[in-house]
Amino acid sequence: MSLDDSAARTPSGPTQHHPHELRRSVGAVTATATSAGLAFAAINFIGVVSVATFALGSSAWLAIAIGGLISLVVSGVFSELNSMWPTAAGVRLYISNAFGVRFALIATFTYMSTVILVIAADAFLIGAAIQHLLHEPSALAYVWILLLLLIATVLNLRGIKIAGRVQSVVTYVVLASTTGLSIVALFKPGLPYPHPFAVFGNGALSGFQAIAFALFLFAAFEWVTTTAEEARKPQVITRALFIAPLLIWFAATVFSLALTHLVTLDAAHASAYPQLLLGSAALGRFGEIWMLGVTVLTAINTFNGGFLVASRFVYAAAREGNLPRAFARLNLRAVPWLAVIVLAVTSAVVGALVFATGEWLLLVAVGASLEAMVFAIASAALLKLRRTDDRVRGFRLRGAPVVAGFGLVLFAILALASGLSDPKNPKAFSPLPALVVLTLAAVSTAYVYLVVPRLHRAAAARRLAARASGEQTRRRPPRP
């Protein structure tokens, strides 16, 4: 049996849990909360502003609707791919079976940086919101972020049941609270809604950039596939992939309508906490405190959900020998503890860099480009696997050749549009987001070509030594 086959053959129902295996305890509610919670982060409030910046007038809601429809294409593509390989290593397996192992490793290691970028950007934005409302220095605001990262780390180390319950409660509270305040704001006297349908009113490129940033509002919802080995049934992941985008779409749409109704675009674009501006415009000081509470809760669901899904990917990569094997070790609660801790530390470091530079808008553009790029690769993988792989699928996307072909072209355009956008000035171009993406890909390429072969040779040497030791034991004469 090959390594890929062994990773792909996971049970589809409840089983006896081995102390060195992940546990099947994730239901549809937790999976949906994990998917929606990781996507609906504090950076989404900035993302809505970015959409409104590129869309003409008040047509941001329409760009978000288009982004939501496109995300359902992503749901279909990943649902079929996940049904073929329902494992924590699924993303790598989809791509490697279509385009080769090395390309898959480069793509997935680059892709994993999306989670770190979202967590780091959220760390800065949450810190900025706390600093604004409590009038604290930046250093103290960063201490609050470290505390929230520590809470998420402890929750994850306690096991997926506890982390999943917290994720469920916090995610649904965040979505409901954001929607509730936005609805209150819509009933306040405010600004008119000019050009509500003119997404492409500023030109074709600007329209595609608006849609690319709208798609970023759903970024990382598909990462729930890394919990496939912990899902009670295979259908759990498919349901989460289709329900979570709808929840995100509704909350983001109502928030965008409320924001453009009560807050000027210039004020929102210049702020790192537009949600607080909306809260203040809707309900004064109480509204600000309300949205600060929502923002802090987004930290819990983003950090907690990010560590949950990314640690499973790291665990799977280490289990296959593509990362140091220490990352594949589980604690007594079946959690890849080292992966969780390293992710927390990395997020804290990148968050500190964002605090120092203030380049949170750059992370939005980089994240949008990365997501669109991976969606294009996944669409291409499904197109090829439909022709070359006849294994049984638990889910089949209807009209897959047409849908995936459409997704491939569209996502490639959106990746290019966001990669060349200047998030600070919608009328200018900037190669900086694309350069960051290329840098991340170059680092991943260097790791795959220089480090992974050494890890594979070391693993082969250990297996050879273990085999030799076993043969020597069998050849020893029995004791009298």
Q: Compute the Cα dihedral for 73, 305, 237, 254 and give only its sign.
A: negative
Q: pTM of the full predicted structure?
A: 0.81
Domains along the chain? 24-466 (1.20.1740.10)
- pLDDT, residue 8, reads 40
476 confidence band (pLDDT: 50, 70, 90): low
| Helices 101-134 and 43-54: angle between axes, nearest 10 degrees | 100
Dihedral angle computed from the Cα positions of residues 236, 237, 243 and 245, in that order, rounded to the nearest 10 degrees: 170
Average pLDDT over residues 11-35: 63
User: pLDDT: is 424 or 146 the higher one?
Assistant: 146
Centroid of chain to Cα 445: 21
Average pLDDT over residues 284-289: 94
Question: What is the per-residue pLDDT across 160-203, written as a single tens digit (0 to 9) for each?
Answer: 777 778 888 889 999 999 999 999 999 999 888 888 888 888 88
User: pLDDT: is 223 or 171 the higher one?
Assistant: 171
Question: What is the per-residue pLDDT across 393-423, written as a single tens digit (0 to 9) for each?
Answer: 889 999 989 999 999 999 999 899 888 887 6
- pLDDT, residue 178, reads 95
With a cut of 70, say whether residue 10 has pLDDT above it.
no
- pLDDT, residue 257, reads 94
- pLDDT, residue 3, reads 36
Exposure string over 236-257, b if 16+ CB within 10 A, otherwise e: bbbbbbebbbebbbebbbbbbb
pLDDT, averaged across the chain: 85
Nearest Cα residue to 320 out of 445, 443, 447, 456 = 456
| Helices 235-262 and 43-54: angle between axes, nearest 10 degrees | 60
Top-ranked range on mean pLDDT: pick from 27-31, 85-89, 161-165, 241-245: 241-245
Q: Which two tokens stand for residue 5?
A: 């086959």
The C-alpha atoms of residue 137 and residue 143 are separated, in whole angstroms, by: 10
Nearest Cα residue to 373 out of 440, 422, 310 = 440
